């Protein structure tokens, strides 16, 4: 009888094993790093906002711009004898794409959309008036002017209002641009935009408008001087 009680007591004293399906991994070990990272990010953001609110001289990360440019050098002066008769404003979208021959554009390639704004002036150069270009009769009532054709100035690109609208780059190009910056890329966009605007101005009828405006100006000026008949003829080019 005593031996059976000892066996029962041993069975009761044996540790109870928990089923494997009910075991749960501890969550505290995973939540702690996440909470630390979230708190760190929050502190950094709050610190940035606080620094932005500080005066410039108190902000240790504030950027100060200093102009260390040298004095402007006057290289030359030209006397102009021209009449600015018309001006045209232009806008062009330059779509410049550079691709590798044997690689997809996602790896190697670059496409840039550049919006260029600029103006082109049209003028008549009075220094090209030859001898006998102005003929007046004896009574000073009739005047005949042989006028040289209008010309176009070079494109004046407005760099302040010209900008890169969008850029698509491959992986290799992104990696290379991260370590180096090539100012010639922007310069190439400026040159292309200026060339396209110059071509458009030459085909826009801007020179014809300048010829008409110059003719009207000379007619009004000579008639104000007492000439009753004024004839403007274009010079042979």
Task: Assess whether pLDDT exceeds 70 at residue 21.
Answer: no
Task: Assess whether pLDDT exceeds 60 at residue 19.
Answer: no
**Residue range(s) defining the domain that contains residue 120:** 82-234
Residue 161: name the closest of 183, 198, 195, 193 by CA. Answer: 193
CA 199/CA 74 separation, integer angstroms: 31
Q: In this structure, is residue 200 part of a structural domain?
A: yes
CA 62/CA 102 separation, integer angstroms: 46
Q: In this structure, is residue 92 part of a structural domain?
A: yes
Task: Assess whether pLDDT exceeds 80 at residue 206.
Answer: yes
Cβ pair 108, 173 in contact under 8 A: yes
Cβ pair 194, 155 in contact under 8 A: yes
Confidence of residue 167 (pLDDT cuts 50, 70, 90): confident
Instruction: Compute the average pLDDT of residues 220-230.
Output: 93
State the Cα angle at 13 between 7 and 19, rounded to 5°.
115
Instruction: Compute the average pLDDT of residues 13-21.
Output: 51
What pLDDT does residue 50 have?
Answer: 62
Q: In this structure, is residue 75 part of a structural domain?
A: no
According to DSSP, residue 119 is labeled E
Decide which of 236 and 3 is more confident. 236
Cβ-Cβ contacts under 8 Å for 210 (sequence gap 6 or more): 85, 86, 122, 123, 124, 150
Q: In this structure, is residue 145 part of a structural domain?
A: yes
Cβ pair 217, 126 in contact under 8 A: no
What is the token pair recorded at 163? 């900008």
Q: In this structure, is residue 74 part of a structural domain?
A: no
Number of domains the chain is built from: 1
Whether the model pTM is above 0.85: no
CA 88/CA 127 separation, integer angstroms: 23
Positive or negative, the Cα torsion across 201, 203, 209, 210?
positive
Q: In this structure, is residue 113 part of a structural domain?
A: yes
Q: In this structure, is residue 151 part of a structural domain?
A: yes
Q: In this structure, is residue 18 part of a structural domain?
A: no
Provide the CB-side half-sphere exposure for 189 (13 A, CA): 26
Task: Assess whether pLDDT exceeds 50 at residue 152.
Answer: yes
Burial of 91 (0-12, 13-18, 19+ CB in 10 A): middle
The count of other CB atoms within 10 Å of the CB of residue 204 is 16
User: Going by DSSP bridges, is the β-strand pair 134-136/109-125 parallel, antiparallel, or unpaired?
Assistant: unpaired
H-helix or E-strand spanning residue 67? none
Residue 119: name the closest of 166, 159, 148 by CA. Answer: 159
What is the token pair recorded at 225? 């001087």
Instruction: Compute the average pLDDT of residues 30-55.
Output: 66
Instruction: Compute the average pLDDT of residues 12-31.
Output: 52
Least confident of 39-43, 99-103, 170-174, 213-217: 170-174
CA distance between the termini of the chain: 138
What pLDDT does residue 202 have?
Answer: 95
């Amino acid at each position: 009888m005593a031996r059976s009680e000892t066996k029962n007591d041993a069975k009761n004293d044996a540790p109870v094993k928990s089923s494997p399906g009910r075991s749960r991994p501890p969550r505290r070990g995973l939540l702690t790093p996440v909470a630390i990272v979230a708190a760190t990010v929050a502190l950094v953001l709050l610190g940035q906002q606080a620094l932005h609110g500080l005066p410039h001289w108190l902000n240790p990360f504030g950027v100060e711009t200093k102009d260390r440019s040298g004095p402007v050098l006057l290289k030359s002066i030209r006397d102009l004898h021209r009449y600015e008769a018309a001006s045209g404003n232009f806008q062009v979208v330059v779509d410049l794409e550079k691709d590798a021959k044997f690689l997809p554009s996602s790896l190697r390639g670059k496409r840039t959309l550049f919006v260029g704004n600029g103006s082109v002036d049209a003028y008549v150069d009075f220094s090209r008036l030859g001898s006998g270009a102005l003929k007046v009769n004896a009574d000073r009532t009739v005047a005949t002017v042989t006028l040289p054709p209008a010309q176009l100035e070079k494109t004046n690109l407005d760099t302040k209002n010209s900008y890169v609208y969008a850029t698509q780059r491959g992986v290799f190009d992104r990696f290379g641009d991260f370590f180096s910056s090539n100012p010639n890329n922007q310069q190439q966009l400026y040159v292309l935009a200026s060339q396209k605007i110059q071509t458009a101005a030459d085909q826009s009828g801007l020179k014809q408008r300048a010829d008409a405006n110059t003719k009207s100006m000379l007619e009004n000026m000579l008639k104000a001087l007492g000439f009753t008949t004024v004839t403007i003829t274009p010079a042979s080019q």
